[in-house]
C-alpha cells in the first residue's frame, strides 16, 4: 500500500538543513494577494522556493507587488500547480468563497495563517472551520504569529518562534520543515484543537506577566506601609511630628529601592540556592542541571551560578 510516509516532505532535495532547494524544487501555492501573501511570497522566493499566487483577479494585482519570480494566476490554477503546500492568505470570513476549489485542493496541505479577531473564545477556531470546509485536504495551522513585516525582515532579531499544529502528522512535519527553511523556529504545539490558542496568541499582550506585576505591586504596598508606619505614623503619635508631607515623594523614594532589591533577589536567589544545595549533593547530574535550569528564571542568573 502506498502511504504518505513514503513521500518526501517537501521534495527530496530539501532534507539537509542549510542547503537550498534548487529552482526546479517544490512549488508552494498562496491563495490571496494581500499584505501577508506578498511578504510570504518574497520570503519563500528568497529561500529558494518556487511560488504561485492565486488571485480572484490576477490581472488587477500590481505586478511590482511581488518578486519577479512569483507567478500570479487564478486561484484554481494556483491550487492545481502547487505541489503540496498551499497557504490560505485570505481572511476567514471569505473561506467559503474558496469552496469551488475543493476539487483542485484535494489531497493538498492547506496552511491556515489567520488570527483570531477577538479573545471571545469562539466554538471553533478558523483552522478547524477550514478543515470542515475542505475535508479532502489536510489543514495545518501556523505562521499567524508572524507579521507581514517580520516575514519580510526575516529572522534578524533572534529566531522567531512559530507555533504549528495539525491533526495530520505528515502535513505538519512538512510545514515545520518549511518554517525552519525560512529561518524561523517552528514549535509543534499538537493537534488542530490547539489552533484556537495559536490564533489568539498575537492578541495576548505580555503573556504571563500578570503574577509578577501583582507580586511587585504587593511588595510595593508592603514596604510603603512599613515606611509609613516607621517614618510618619509612629513619629506623629510619639512626638507629634508632622511628616505627612513626605508621603508622595520621600516615602515612595524609600520604598522603591527595597522593592527593587527584593524583586531582583526573587529572580536570582532560587537558582543560587539550588546550585549550592545541588553541588554538595551527589545526585544524578541531569536532574540537577534541569532543576537549576528550571529555577534559574533567566540565563544570567544561572550562568552566574556557574
Ligand atoms: N497582514 C499581516 O501582517 C498578517 C496577516 N495574517 C492573516 O493573513 C490573512 C490575510 O491577511 P492580509 O494579507 O493582511 O489581508 P489583505 O486584505 O491584505 O488580503 C486578503 C486577500 O484575500 C483575497 N481574497 C480572496 N477571496 C476574497 C474575498 N472573497 N474577499 C476579499 N478578499 C479575498 C484577496 O486577494 P485577491 O483579490 O487577489 O483574491 C485579498 O488580497 C488573514 O487571515 C490574516 O489574519 C496573519 C498574520 C499577519
Ligand atoms: Cu536576565
Helix axes 210-228, 252-279, angle to 10 degrees: 120
- How many angstroms is it from 269 CA to the middle of ligand 2? 12
Identify the CA nearest to 109 among candidates 44, 34, 169: 169
Among 29, 31, 37, 118, the mutation site with the greatest number of ligand 1 atoms within 8 A of its Cβ is: 37
What angle (nearest 5°) sits at the alpha carbon of residue 296, between those of residues 220 and 274? 100
Q: Is 50 exposed, middle or buried (0-12, 13-18, 19+ CB in 10 A)?
A: buried
How far is Cα of residue 177 from the mean position of the Cα atoms in its chain? 16
79 contacts 105 by C-beta, under 8 angstroms: yes
Closest ligand 1 atom to 148 CA: 3
- How many angstroms is it from 298 CA to the middle of ligand 2? 5
Q: Is 128 exposed, middle or buried (0-12, 13-18, 19+ CB in 10 A)?
A: buried
Reduced to 3 DSSP states, what percent helix, strand and coil does the chain have, rounded to the nearest 5? 55, 10, 35
- How many angstroms is it from 187 CA to the middle of ligand 1? 24
Query: Once rounded to an integer, what is the mean pLDDT over residues 159-180?
Result: 94
136 secondary structure, DSSP code: T
- How many angstroms is it from 290 CA to the middle of ligand 2? 18
The pLDDT confidence band at residue 293, using thresholds 50, 70 and 90, is low
67 secondary structure, DSSP code: -
The pLDDT confidence band at residue 282, using thresholds 50, 70 and 90, is low
> ipTM strictly over 0.90?
yes
Say yes or no to pLDDT of 65 above 80.
yes
Write out the H or E segment, with its range, that includes residue 51: strand 50-55
- How many angstroms is it from 149 CA to the middle of ligand 2? 27
Q: Which three cell numbers stand for residue 92?
A: 476567514
Identify the CA nearest to 108 among candidates 22, 219, 31: 31
The pLDDT confidence band at residue 14, using thresholds 50, 70 and 90, is very low
* Ligand 1 neighbourhood includes 39 CB (under 6 angstroms): no
pLDDT of residue 123: 84
Say yes or no to pLDDT of 153 above 90.
no
For domain 4-203, the question of CATH label 3.30.70.360 is answered with no
Closest ligand 1 atom to 36 CA: 13
Residue range 210-239, pLDDT digits in tens: 899 999 999 999 999 999 999 999 999 999
- How many angstroms is it from 112 CA to the middle of ligand 1? 11
Lowest mean pLDDT among 85-89, 96-100, 281-285: 281-285
The pLDDT confidence band at residue 300, using thresholds 50, 70 and 90, is very low
CA dist., res. 50 & res. 27, Å (int)? 5
In terms of pTM, does the model score above 0.80? no
- How many angstroms is it from 211 CA to the middle of ligand 2? 18
- CA end-to-end span of the chain: 55
Helix axes 285-296, 252-279, angle to 10 degrees: 170
The residue nearest atom 18 of ligand 1, judged by CA position, is 34
Identify which has the larger pLDDT, 276 or 25. Answer: 276
Q: Which ligand is nearest to the CA of 99?
A: 1
The pLDDT confidence band at residue 23, using thresholds 50, 70 and 90, is low
Among 29, 32, 92, 112, the mutation site with the greatest number of ligand 1 atoms within 8 A of its Cβ is: 32
254 contacts 288 by C-beta, under 8 angstroms: no
Query: Once rounded to an integer, what is the mean pLDDT over residues 232-256?
Result: 95
The pLDDT confidence band at residue 271, using thresholds 50, 70 and 90, is confident
34 contacts 25 by C-beta, under 8 angstroms: no
pLDDT of residue 216: 95
Lowest mean pLDDT among 58-72, 154-168, 218-232, 256-270: 154-168
Among 91, 114, 129, the mutation site with the greatest number of ligand 1 atoms within 8 A of its Cβ is: 91
CA distances from 10 to 49, 101, 151, 178 (A): 10, 22, 20, 8
For the chain, the domains span 4-203, 210-305
* Ligand 1 neighbourhood includes 32 CB (under 6 angstroms): yes
Looking up cell 501573501 gives 37
Q: Which three cell numbers stand for residue 37?
A: 501573501
The pLDDT confidence band at residue 19, using thresholds 50, 70 and 90, is very low
Query: Once rounded to an integer, what is the mean pLDDT over residues 132-156?
Result: 89
Q: Which three cell numbers stand for residue 193?
A: 484543537
Q: Which three cell numbers stand for residue 110?
A: 492547506
Amino acid at each position: 500500500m502506498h502511504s504518505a510516509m513514503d513521500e518526501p516532505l517537501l521534495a527530496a532535495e530539501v532534507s539537509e538543513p542549510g542547503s537550498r532547494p534548487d529552482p526546479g524544487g517544490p512549488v508552494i501555492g498562496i491563495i490571496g494577494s494581500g499584505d501577508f501573501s506578498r511578504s510570504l511570497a518574497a520570503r519563500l522566493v528568497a529561500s529558494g522556493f518556487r511560488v504561485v499566487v492565486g488571485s480572484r483577479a490576477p490581472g488587477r494585482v500590481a505586478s511590482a507587488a511581488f518578486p519577479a519570480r512569483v507567478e500570479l494566476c487564478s486561484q484554481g490554477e494556483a491550487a492545481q500547480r502547487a505541489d503540496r503546500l498551499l497557504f490560505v492568505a485570505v481572511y476567514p470570513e471569505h473561506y467559503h468563497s474558496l469552496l469551488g476549489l475543493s476539487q483542485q485542493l484535494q489531497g493538498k496541505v492547506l496552511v491556515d495563517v489567520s488570527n483570531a479577531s477577538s479573545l471571545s473564545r469562539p466554538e471553533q477556531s478558523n483552522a478547524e472551520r477550514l478543515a470542515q470546509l475542505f475535508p479532502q485536504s489536510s489543514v495545518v495551522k501556523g505562521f499567524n504569529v508572524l507579521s507581514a513585516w517580520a516575514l519580510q525582515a526575516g529572522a534578524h532579531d533572534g529566531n522567531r518562534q512559530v507555533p504549528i499544529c495539525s491533526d495530520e502528522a505528515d502535513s505538519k512535519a512538512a510545514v515545520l520543515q518549511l518554517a525552519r527553511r525560512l529561518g524561523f523556529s517552528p514549535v509543534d504545539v499538537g493537534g488542530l484543537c490547539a489552533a484556537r490558542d495559536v490564533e489568539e496568541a498575537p492578541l495576548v499582550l505580555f503573556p504571563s506577566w500578570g503574577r509578577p506585576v501583582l507580586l511587585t505591586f504587593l511588595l510595593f504596598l508592603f514596604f510603603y506601609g512599613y515606611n509609613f508606619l516607621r517614618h510618619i505614623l509612629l513619629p506623629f503619635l510619639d512626638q507629634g511630628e508632622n511628616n505627612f508631607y513626605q508621603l508622595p515623594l520621600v516615602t515612595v523614594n524609600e520604598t522603591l529601592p527595597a522593592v527593587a532589591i527584593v524583586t531582583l533577589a526573587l529572580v536570582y536567589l532560587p537558582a543560587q540556592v539550588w546550585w549550592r544545595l545541588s553541588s554538595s549533593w551527589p545526585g544524578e547530574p541531569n536532574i540537577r542541571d534541569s532543576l537549576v535550569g528550571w529555577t534559574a528564571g533567566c540565563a544570567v542568573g544561572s550562568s552566574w551560578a556557574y
